[in-house]
Amino acid sequence: QVQLVESGGGVVQPGRSLRLSCTASGFTFRTYAMHWVRQAPGKGLEWVALISYDGSNTYYADSVKGRFTISRDNSKNTLYLQMNSLRPDDTAVYYCARGIYGSGSYKHLDPWGQGTLVTVSS
């Protein structure tokens, strides 16, 4: 079945870096766009970044632009999120999700991984 598994979360000091991974299985990874979405403790969903199926196009939320980099390795069925200059307000559960594209736009996210917790604290 289609499955996404995130890893790489943990506790990190402000200003440091962390790289998250999302390993996909059960579908042809190289033909789908992928998203990262985060959820701070007790808060709602915040879209973070999107990468096209071939990695040629990337998009970011203003809150992470210039600090985070989304990338993918289609040979390894893996999505990444490189997070630099981390701040306490980056503390959240980070989810990866498959992006469904059609009719000229990105339409919905399905499925989602189980999430990985990133805590930025000194």
Contact 73, 19 (CB under 8 A): no
Binding other proteins (rule: CB under 8 A), the pick from 54, 73, 89, 110 is 110
Binding other proteins (rule: CB under 8 A), the pick from 41, 62, 66, 122 is 62
Binding-residue total with other proteins (CB under 8 A) = 25
Nearest to 80 by CA among 3, 27, 6, 16: 6
User: Does 46 help bind other proteins (rule: CB under 8 A)?
Assistant: yes
What is the spatial distance between Cα 109 and Cα 32, in angstroms, rounded to a whole number? 11
Nearest approach, Cβ of 14 to other proteins (angstroms)? 24
